[in-house]
Structure 1
Amino acid sequence: MPVIRHAESRRTETPNAVMTTLASPTQGGTQLALWRVDMRPGAAGPLHVFDVEQVWTVVRGGASVELGVEQLVVVPGDTVLMPPAVPRRVSADPVLGFGAIVAASPGAHASAPDGTGRTVPGWTV
């Protein structure tokens, strides 16, 4: 069974979070990309969409999740199912910050809700 060593994980820092790729096609996987998201207290991501389902499991802190018309509050142990093409924004708890493990199809496209800025985030490949 293949093992991806911690030293082989890939770290991508954005203005809002740090994504650490744990498994992806460029690391030997074929069906899933798996990464950790860590956000500082009070940090918020941009409103955006993905073209595939994502599954987020909270492992640290907490967050407010804008998912379409819903406003969700999540804490460690909660899992959020984010359907494709639904606008989402994750905002970290202002005191505790936020950490989650995320799984999705590799090579997924992200964009602004209006379709502009379409890209494949580096932590998914």
Structure 2
Amino acid sequence: MSVIRRTDARRTETPNAVMTTFASPTQGGTGLAMWRVEMAGAHAGPRHAMDTEQVWTFLSGSAVVDLDGEELTLGAGDTLVLPAGVPRRVRSDDGFGAVVASPAPSTAHNLDTGDRVSPPWTV
């Protein structure tokens, strides 16, 4: 059993959002990562695909997720299961907070640049 204290949560800032890791393989977990995403209004993440499934539960605000060309509007209380390997992009006009879980570690493939990275909030 591991206890990860609030003061030990890892915070990662990107140009589009802030991710706060609650658990990951390097932070008390084994094969699962769980983190909070906070995106301010008028922001969007990159168009990318993940090599693992993700489950997003929106806690506040709203977002539009382009999932392989289909636009899905989500708000507080909604949960979205994003399959592995499917192109996606998350954007928000008014900002949102969400909790996300996925198998870890995982790799993101930026579909515009071709880059592949392991997001630090999943390792």
TM-score, L = length of structure 2: 0.95
Is residue 2:26 matched to residue 1:2?
A: no
Is residue 2:120 matched to residue 1:122?
A: yes
Q: Deviations over 1:39-83 (max 9, x none)?
A: 001111110010010000000100011001210000011001100
The equivalent residue for 2:53 is 53
Give ranges in structure 1 of 5+ residues lacking alignment. Answer: none
What value does the CA root-mean-square deviation take over the aligned residues? 1.3
- How many Å separate the matches in 1 of 2:7 and 2:48? 30
Q: CA deviation at 1:113?
A: 2.6
Q: CA deviation at 1:107?
A: 1.2
- How many Å separate the matches in 1 of 2:85 and 2:117? 14
- How many Å separate the matches in 1 of 2:113 and 2:51? 10
Distance change >3 Å, CA 114–CA 46, structure 1 → 2:
closer
The structure 1 segments of at least 4 consecutive aligned residues displaced by more than 4 Å after TM superposition are none
Is residue 2:14 matched to residue 1:40?
A: no
Identity %: 55
Instruction: Please identify which structure carries the higher strand content.
Output: 2
Q: CA deviation at 1:112?
A: 1.8
Is residue 2:18 matched to residue 1:18?
A: yes
Q: CA deviation at 1:115?
A: 8.0
- How many Å separate the matches in 1 of 2:59 and 2:90? 14
SS of 1:99's equivalent in the other structure is: strand
The farther-off stretch of 36-45 and 109-118 is 109-118
Q: Deviations over 1:93-121 (max 9, x none)?
A: x23x1111000011100012378201101
Aligned residues: 123
Q: CA deviation at 1:28?
A: 1.5
Is residue 2:97 matched to residue 1:105?
A: no
Q: CA deviation at 1:87?
A: 0.6
TM-score, L = length of structure 1: 0.94
SS of 1:26's equivalent in the other structure is: coil
Q: CA deviation at 1:27?
A: 1.1
